[in-house]
């Protein structure tokens, strides 16, 4: 399908009130907000720790680029589970297992385990302490309240999980966090949410890309890239074509740096845990909802 056809299709969908309320990404990057240099943080880099490095210029283009968009990439809504929401919104900082990168990024496991009265009772029993349900339940519900609060507001060093999560999204994410933390029975409580592609793109851009990329700003030259500038989100869709963009995100792609410009290995982490379709959703979202100041 031609990009215009896709755009038209999506607009038609949103006119019918199908889409959740999607809004443009705005403001400075999270790293800028924290005054934290790109080289001195683990934020947004969990895939860099666990995944392959970006390809060298000599390895580009890959012999078999896994860049084929599926035929589902046509504006259809997809079914996401809490595990997907976690991938799109949390994994960049907390990693695939939730353990984060202490001391900068706390593990989510203990605060999530604290939301289960049963886990608490068993843990205390192991330490030789007898705790009743009557004692454990209020503690667990207090811990749950704190966790849900964080899912709406973030923390001092953690961005609030924008876009604002719907109740269904919060429930799906919470159920997955419990699964990640090994709370018994959590596997039976996983629930799906239906999300239109623009919402998927919004989740990825606001919770992952916006960690390092500002919404708007000057388009850096190859020399400025060498000096460490990061291009703003508003320029990405014109810097790269859809296919190049998908490659940059999912398998990594060399970047032109210096003057004269030469291709070098990218500094950006490779998000191997995002699918080509999801990266394309991010491209579409950035094109249809131009980032704002
Ligand atoms: C930009 C990086 C970043 C992203 C994205 C992020 N977090 Fe965090 N998170 C942090 C940092 C840093 C801390 C510890 C400091 C703080 O609380 O502000 C933290 C702390 C937490 C804690 C509390 C840990 C404790 O010891 O009490 C939980 C729970 C949590 N995050 C869950 C999540 C979930 C769920 C998501 C996805 C919706 C998420 N985080 C996305 C950076 C991030
Ligand atoms: C941990 C920080 C970080 C995160 C998170 C991040 N980027 Fe980047 N990105 C960079 C840096 C640094 C560069 C410039 C150097 C390079 O290309 O590797 C860059 C460059 C780019 C480029 C331009 C490449 C070019 O050749 O002009 C695109 C496109 C891009 N990022 C897309 C994304 C998308 C989409 C996301 C979210 C899925 C994302 N980035 C998340 C750090 C990040």
287 — pLDDT class (breaks 50, 70, 90) = very high
Structure tokens at 173: 């994410």
pLDDT at 16: 41
205 — pLDDT class (breaks 50, 70, 90) = very high
* Ligand 2 neighbourhood includes 231 CB (under 6 angstroms): yes
Give the span between the Cα atoms of 222 and 217, in whole angstroms.
15
- Taking the CA atoms of the chain, what radius of gyration do you get in angstroms? 21
Give the span between the Cα atoms of 98 and 180, in whole angstroms.
7
Do 261 and 222 form a contact (C-beta atoms < 8 A)?
yes
Residue 194 Cα to ligand 2 middle (Å): 28
pLDDT digits (tens, 9 = 90+) for 89-112: 999 999 999 999 999 999 999 999
Looking at ligand 2, which atom is closest to the CA of residue 245?
29
Structure tokens at 289: 């909802």
Residue 14 Cα to ligand 2 middle (Å): 28
* Ligand 2 neighbourhood includes 286 CB (under 6 angstroms): no
Nearest in space to 200 (alpha carbons), one of 163, 232, 174, 173: 163
Structure tokens at 120: 């608490």
Q: Which residues line ligand 1 (CB under 6 A)?
A: 30, 43, 89-90, 92-94, 105-106, 108, 111, 147, 150-151, 155-159, 161, 177, 207, 211
pLDDT at 20: 67
pLDDT digits (tens, 9 = 90+) for 144-194: 999 999 998 999 999 988 777 899 999 999 999 999 999 999 999 999 999
- Quickly tell me which residue has 């609060």 as its tokens: 149
* Ligand 2 neighbourhood includes 19 CB (under 6 angstroms): no
pLDDT digits (tens, 9 = 90+) for 176-190: 999 999 999 999 999
Q: Identify the burial level of 3 via C-beta atoms within 10 angstroms of its C-beta, where 0-12 means exposed, 13-18 middle and 19 or more buried.
A: exposed
Q: Which ligand is nearest to the CA of 87?
A: 1
Protein residue with its CA nearest to atom 5 in ligand 1: 90
pLDDT at 15: 44
pLDDT digits (tens, 9 = 90+) for 39-81: 999 999 975 555 667 888 988 887 665 566 776 666 788 999 9
Contacts of 244 (CB under 8 A, 6+ apart): 253
Residue 44 Cα to ligand 1 middle (Å): 12
75 vs 2, 7, 117, 167, CA distance in Å? Answer: 12, 8, 42, 23
pLDDT at 14: 45
Looking at ligand 2, which atom is closest to the CA of residue 267?
18
Give the span between the Cα atoms of 67 and 244, in whole angstroms.
9
* Ligand 2 neighbourhood includes 249 CB (under 6 angstroms): yes
Looking at ligand 1, which atom is closest to the CA of residue 104?
12
Structure tokens at 19: 């889409």
What's the average model confidence in pLDDT over 230-257?
95
């Amino acid at each position: 399908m031609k990009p215009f056809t896709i755009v038209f299709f999506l607009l038609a969908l949103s006119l019918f009130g199908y889409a959740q309320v999607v809004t443009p990404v705005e403001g400075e990057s999270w790293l800028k907000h924290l005054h934290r240099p790109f080289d001195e943080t683990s934020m947004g880099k969990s895939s860099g720790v666990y995944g392959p490095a970006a390809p060298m210029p000599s390895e580009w283009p890959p012999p078999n680029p896994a860049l084929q968009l599926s035929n589902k990439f046509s504006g259809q809504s997809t079914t996401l589970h809490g595990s997907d929401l976690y991938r799109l919104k949390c994994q960049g900082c907390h990693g695939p297992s939730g353990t984060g990168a202490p001391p900068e990024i706390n593990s989510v496991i203990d605060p999530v385990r604290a939301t289960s009265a049963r886990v608490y009772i068993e843990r205390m029993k192991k330490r030789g302490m007898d705790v009743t349900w009557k004692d454990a339940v209020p503690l667990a519900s207090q811990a749950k309240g704190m966790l849900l609060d964080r899912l709406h507001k973030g923390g001092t060093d953690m961005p609030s999980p924008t876009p604002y999560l719907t109740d269904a999204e919060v429930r799906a994410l919470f159920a997955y966090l419990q699964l990640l933390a090994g709370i018994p029975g959590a596997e039976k409580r996983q629930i799906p949410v239906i999300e239109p592609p623009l919402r998927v793109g919004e989740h990825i851009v606001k919770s992952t890309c916006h960690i390092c990329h500002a919404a708007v700003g000057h388009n850096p030259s190859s020399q400025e890239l060498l000096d460490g500038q990061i291009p703003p989100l508003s320029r990405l869709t014109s810097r790269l074509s859809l296919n190049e963009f998908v490659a940059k995100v999912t398998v990594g792609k060399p970047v032109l740096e210096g003057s004269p410009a030469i291709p070098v290995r990218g500094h950006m982490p490779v998000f191997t845990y995002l699918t080509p379709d999801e990266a394309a959703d991010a491209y579409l979202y950035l094109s249809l909802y131009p980032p704002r100041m």
